Structure 1
Amino acid sequence: MTTIWILAAMQDELDLLKQALHAAPEEHDLPLPVHRGRIGERPVGLAALGIGVAAASLGLGLLHRELKGAEVIMVGSAGALPGSGLITGDLAVAEAEWLSELGLPTGPGTADARALGLPGLEQSARFDARLTAAIRDAAERMAKATFGPFLTVLSPSADLQQAGIRAAAFRAVAENMEGYALAAAARTLGCRAAEIRAISNQAGDRDKHNWDLVPAQRLAQAAVLQYLKEQA
């Protein structure tokens, strides 16, 4: 039976799932932590890839044999972009991912890959429609859930003005630092991929007193667990 893989940047973003799935650490030679558990008869793998699109890409490459042809879900937290209507405690499910700084710079934290005219250079990648719809249905049973494009950034928005520029440039609802890596890799790996994140803060607000990171991490995991239970 094919393993469902749940990926995140950090271990904290998988702790609730590891506990619920009775997942145990796996001994292997890979330089990243992997846990394995079950939901009913279905095996589930969990891996923390590291923070940022470069670390996530490397982690996906290391796991490519496991992920090829599999069902893969990325989970974590995100900052809500201006105009999204998202607030702390909401869920967001990605339709696609844009890599904000890929291409010829167009503004603070934005670029246009098309302007380079390089064949095969794509700034956006879509997720699997059927898996995304199922994740969205499960999310809507947990909390308010918004569906739309996400923005992967190399550096988080420094202030609300930059966040607004990014939101307008890409019409994205939330920013994160890893999602594009999975969306782009899914085509090469031939896997069905989706991404769900809970909102921990407003993008561009760097005052962490206004953030609610831990509840956001747990809510996103709870939504994935709800999906897994429905599939068991």
Structure 2
Amino acid sequence: MLVATAVPVERDAVARACPGDLGIEVIAAGVGPALAAASTASALTAAALRGEPYGLVVSAGIGGGFQPEAPVGSLVVADGIVAADLGAETEDGFVPVNELGFGTVRHQPPVDLVRRVAGAAGARTGAVLTVSTVTGTAARAAALRERHPTALAEAMEGFGVAEAATAQGVPVLEIRAISNPVGPRDRAAWRIPEALTALTEGFGKLTPVLESWNRHDS
């Protein structure tokens, strides 16, 4: 199993909950969907060339939560991994890239795995939005929720990780610990240490589920 985080502190938070003998590799893939996709693709290819292909890829880390459904400190498991700002702005509003006739803006994690992981970790389930620009205003938060009413969280890497995994036929999951509300940028409201602790605790509860699914169901 491959777990791709954005930065080393997220990688370390996940690794603390993953014993080394379980065959789980945790990497810091980089910030943003492009670098996350490239790093994930490289790791998947290297594993395949070793004759040890991964059976599951997990995008994990901290992220913003849409209030009040995803409060700070909670854990969210994506039932849809969505590229929220991949498309075109028009006079009639935003048009996603799939409606322009190019590609996709959504990846669907395995439904049964989402259910099992959320149950084990006590997590909420909903769409996790991938953005290239983090939301910093109430207006943009409202616009995102209008376009994506099931969204619970936003982050910057999930869709890139999912694109790389899907291209190689590997199932993908996204898990986010909420560090701040989505909306007006207020660094004083960020709770990054608490979110990293929630990420570690969450993985401690759900790692057996992920490992079991990876062995038997992937």
What TM-score results when the alignment is normalised by the length of structure 2? 0.84
Preserved contact between residue 31 and residue 157 of structure 2 (Cα < 8 Å) = yes
Q: As a proportion of its length, which structure holds more helix?
A: 2
1:69–1:192 CA contact under 8 A, matched in 2:
no
Q: 1:90 aligns with which of 44, 67, 74?
A: 74
Alignment pair present for 1:55 and 2:35: yes
Say whether the 8 Å CA contact 2:5–2:60 is kept in structure 1.
yes
Secondary structure of the 2:25 match is strand
d(CA) in 1 for partners of 2:94 and 2:179? 22
Give yes or no for contact 2:166–2:172 (8 Å, CA) kept in 1.
no
Does the CA contact (< 8 Å) of 2:16 and 2:200 recur in 1? no
Contact 1:131 1:192 in 2 (8 A): no
- Find the partner of 1:181 among 143, 157, 160: 160
CA contact (8 A) 1:135 1:196 kept: no
Give the counterpart of 2:111 among 121, 124, 129: 129
Instruction: Find the aligned partners of 2:79 and 2:162 in 1 and give their Cα distance.
Output: 10
- CA 1:60 to 1:47, structure 2 compared with 1: closer, same or farther past 3 Å? same
Decide which of 193, 197, 211 is 2:176's aligned counterpart: 197
RMSD: 2.2
What displacement does 1:156 show? 0.6
1:162 equivalent in alignment to 2:149: no
- Aligned-pair distance for 1:54? 1.1
CA deviation after TM superposition for structure 1 residue 228, in Å: 1.8
**Corresponding position of 2:215:** none
Instruction: Give the Cα–Cα distance (whole angstroms) in 2 for the partners of residues 198 and 110 of structure 1.
Output: 28
Please, which of 5, 9, 13 is the counterpart of residue 6 of structure 2? 9
Mapped partners of 2:104, 2:86: distance in 1: 9
Secondary structure of 1:166's match?
A: helix
Measure, in 2, the Cα distance between the counterparts of 1:98 and 1:192. 15
Q: Tell me the residue number matched to 1:215.
A: 194
Deviation at 1:11, TM superposition (A): 0.9
Q: What are the Cα deviations for residues 45-103 of structure 1, in whole angstroms up to 9, with x where unaligned?
A: 11110011111011112112227552222211111125x52211111110011111212
- 1:101-128: CA deviations, max 9, x gaps? 2122258x9542234223xx11111112
CA contact (8 A) 2:4 2:161 kept: no
Q: Deviations over 1:162-214 (max 9, x none)?
A: 11111111221111100111223332222122111111111123111111012
| 2:44 counterpart of 1:71 | no
* Counterpart-to-counterpart distance in 2, 1:129 and 1:91: 17
Cα pair 2:79 2:126 within 8 Å, conserved: yes
Distance change (3 Å), C-alpha of 1:106 and 1:126 = farther
Fraction of identical pairs, as percent: 26
Unaligned stretches of 5+ residues in structure 2: 213-218
Q: 1:55 to 1:152 in 2, by over 3 A?
A: same
Contact preservation (8 Å) 1:10, 1:48 = yes
SS in 2 for 1:114: coil
Looking at structure 2, the residues matched to 71 and 223 of structure 1 have their Cα atoms a distance apart, in angstroms, of 18
